[in-house]
């Protein structure tokens, strides 16, 4: 790898870290940890109920739970598992209303996860009630089933009589050891691709999922080493030590999950930003509205990816700002399919109104405008700049003398009136 490639990687990592900090990743991970603390028992109960509906998976809920805690919760998993098993056993005795409450709690957790990923992807509108319910129900239904299938496949490989020699047994052990990382990579990929309310490239979601899975395996071994080699926390918490350590581990997991989501988004937007032409905001906004106006004439909507490719000067960072600005102003609307359309007649919307809407200063004319409308706007701004410079071409000393003279003339009648009152 040459120096230029290393420099590009370092720039990308710096942009990734800044993006994570700007999205308040630590705060989001802490909020999701707090939510998970309340939703973990309802999720387990709902998962058991989903497995019980499939005859082949009846009675494997405890096996799946033990496998999950053994492979995904290091060191303190056994103690926490005993607590959760007791809580889950009590939850199974609930009435229909209690079960409904557990399902609602599980769905609320999924909604918080979607909100966190939408913030990363700068999506201001969550899914509607029906589509979000179907997505959450699919996740809650298919998740335990996929884990059950993985467990059945692992058991099948373990029971094969083809492995007789010691080398074959070692190979089988290595093959079985690959299942937890593969399942976690698949889970992260599905999380990044399906949950955000916007189109996510599957390739970038997969890269983020694999990266999060690798970080998860490294964190799992590092956390287990810390728990076993530095047990000083037990002197403080005693028998209760497993619970705070479990919360720390959940926080680490959510931090890794959000880093993977940030990576999938950074892979989507970073290179487009480097290729984009730098233009003043007003020109980029006009180019964006020009593309949406053209689609409006055809009765069509435009995907965000198309806008990023076709609008001159539009980067993902600018698009994040523009879509919030235009949606709040009632100019643009986002469809259920994640596309964008112009929802206002531009014959009733002027350049002055657009500039008043924009928080950025009025730019000057372009030196080399590309589009016909760019040339027209550039000429108008150039003439406006000339008039503005003529009106502002006033020395400050002259300005202050003029205003000082007016103030003195206004102050004389006031002083005479005050003196008259004193004499009277």
Q: What is the percent of the chain with per-residue pLDDT over 70, rounded to a whole number?
A: 62
Q: Which two tokens stand for residue 151?
A: 């467990």
* pLDDT for position 4: 77
* pLDDT for position 407: 57
CA 206, CA 191: separation in Å to the nearest integer?
10
**Rounded (5°) CA angle 100-104-106:** 115
CA 146, CA 369: separation in Å to the nearest integer?
55
* pLDDT for position 166: 44
Furthest-apart CA pair in the chain: how many Å?
Answer: 123
What Å distances lie between residue 90 and 49, 79, 240, 315, 412, CA to CA?
14, 18, 21, 52, 89
> DSSP letter at 126?
-
Q: Is the distance from CB of 62 to CB of 108 less than 8 angstroms?
A: no
pLDDT in tens, 255-294: 999 999 999 988 877 654 545 567 889 999 999 999 999 9
pLDDT in tens, 349-407: 999 999 998 899 988 888 878 778 888 999 999 999 899 888 888 888 888 887 666 65
* pLDDT for position 364: 87
Query: Strand, helix or coil at 201?
Result: coil
* pLDDT for position 293: 93
Query: 198 pLDDT band (50/70/90 cuts)?
Result: confident
Q: Is the pLDDT of residue 207 over 90?
A: yes
CA 387, CA 372: separation in Å to the nearest integer?
23
Q: Is the distance from CB of 291 to CB of 304 less than 8 angstroms?
A: no
> Residue 145: which of 68, 79, 47, 59 has the closest Cα?
47
Q: Which two tokens stand for residue 93?
A: 């005795």
CATH number of 281-392: 1.10.10.10
* pLDDT for position 72: 47
Give every strand in the sheet of 339-342, ordered side by side.
Answer: 302-303, 339-342, 332-334
Which residues, 6 or more positions from 207, have their beta carbon under 8 angstroms from its beta carbon?
263, 264, 267
pLDDT in tens, 166-194: 445 445 556 666 777 787 788 888 888 88
pLDDT in tens, 51-105: 555 555 455 445 555 545 555 455 554 545 555 555 455 545 555 666 676 667 7
Positive or negative, the Cα torsion across 343, 344, 347, 353?
Answer: negative
* pLDDT for position 163: 47
How much helix, strand and coil, in percent to the nearest 5, is found in the chain?
A: 80, 0, 20
CA 362, CA 345: separation in Å to the nearest integer?
23
Neighbours of 417 (CB within 10 A): 9
Mean of all residue pLDDT scores within the chain:
74
Mean pLDDT value of segment 101-113: 74
CA 41, CA 310: separation in Å to the nearest integer?
48
Residue with the two structure tokens 């490989």: 157
Q: Is 297 exposed, middle or buried (0-12, 13-18, 19+ CB in 10 A)?
A: exposed
> DSSP letter at 350?
-
pLDDT in tens, 313-358: 888 778 878 888 898 888 998 887 778 899 888 988 999 999 998 8
CA 24, CA 384: separation in Å to the nearest integer?
42
Radius of gyration of the chain (CA): 31
* pLDDT for position 290: 93
Residue span(s) of the chain under CATH 1.10.10.10 come to 281-392
* pLDDT for position 138: 67
Q: Is the pLDDT of residue 205 over 80?
A: yes
pTM: 0.67
* pLDDT for position 333: 87
* pLDDT for position 258: 93
pLDDT in tens, 127-158: 766 667 677 666 666 655 555 555 555 555 55
């Amino acid at each position: 790898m040459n120096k230029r490639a290393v420099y590009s990687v370092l720039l990308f990592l710096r942009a990734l870290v800044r993006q994570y900090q700007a999205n308040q990743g630590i705060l989001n991970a802490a909020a999701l940890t707090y939510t998970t603390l309340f939703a973990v028992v309802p999720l387990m109960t709902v998962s058991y109920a989903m497995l019980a509906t499939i005859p082949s998976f009846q009675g494997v809920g405890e096996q799946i739970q033990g496998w999950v805690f053994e492979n995904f919760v290091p060191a303190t998993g056994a103690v926490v598992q005993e607590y959760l098993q007791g809580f889950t056993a009590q939850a199974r005795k609930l009435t229909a209303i209690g079960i409904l409450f557990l399902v609602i709690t599980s769905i609320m957790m999924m909604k918080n996860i979607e909100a966190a990923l939408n913030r990363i992807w700068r999506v201001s509108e969550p899914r509607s009630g029906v589509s979000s319910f179907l997505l959450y129900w699919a996740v809650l239904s298919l998740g335990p089933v996929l884990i059950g299938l993985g467990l059945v496949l692992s058991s099948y490989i373990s029971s094969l009589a083809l492995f007789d020699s010691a080398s074959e047994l070692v190979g089988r052990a290595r093959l079985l050891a690959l299942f937890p990382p593969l399942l976690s990579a698949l889970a992260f990929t599905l999380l990044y691709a399906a949950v955000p309310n916007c189109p996510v490239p599957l390739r970038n979601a997969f890269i983020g999922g694999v990266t999060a899975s690798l970080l998860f395996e490294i964190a799992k071994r590092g956390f287990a080493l810390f728990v076993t080699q530095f047990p000083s926390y037990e002197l403080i918490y005693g028998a209760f030590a497993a619970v705070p350590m479990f919360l720390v581990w959940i926080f680490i997991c959510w931090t890794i999950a959000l880093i993977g989501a940030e990576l999938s988004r950074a892979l989507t937007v970073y290179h487009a930003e480097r290729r984009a032409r730098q233009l003043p905001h007003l020109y980029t906004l006009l180019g964006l509205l020009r593309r949406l106006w053209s689609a409006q004439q055809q009765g069509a909507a435009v995907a965000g990816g198309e806008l990023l490719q076709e609008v001159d000067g539009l980067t993902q960072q600018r698009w994040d700002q523009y879509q919030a600005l235009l949606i709040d102003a009632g100019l643009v609307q986002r469809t259920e399919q994640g596309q964008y359309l112009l929802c206002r007649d531009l014959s009733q919307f002027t350049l002055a109104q657009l500039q008043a809407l924009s928080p950025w200063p009025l730019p000057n004319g372009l030196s080399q405008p590309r589009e016909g409308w760019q040339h027209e706007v550039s000429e108008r701004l150039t003439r406006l700049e000339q008039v503005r410079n003529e009106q502002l071409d006033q020395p400050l000393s002259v300005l202050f003398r003029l205003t000082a003279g007016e103030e003195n003339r206004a102050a004389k009648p006031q002083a005479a009136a005050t003196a008259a009152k004193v004499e009277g």
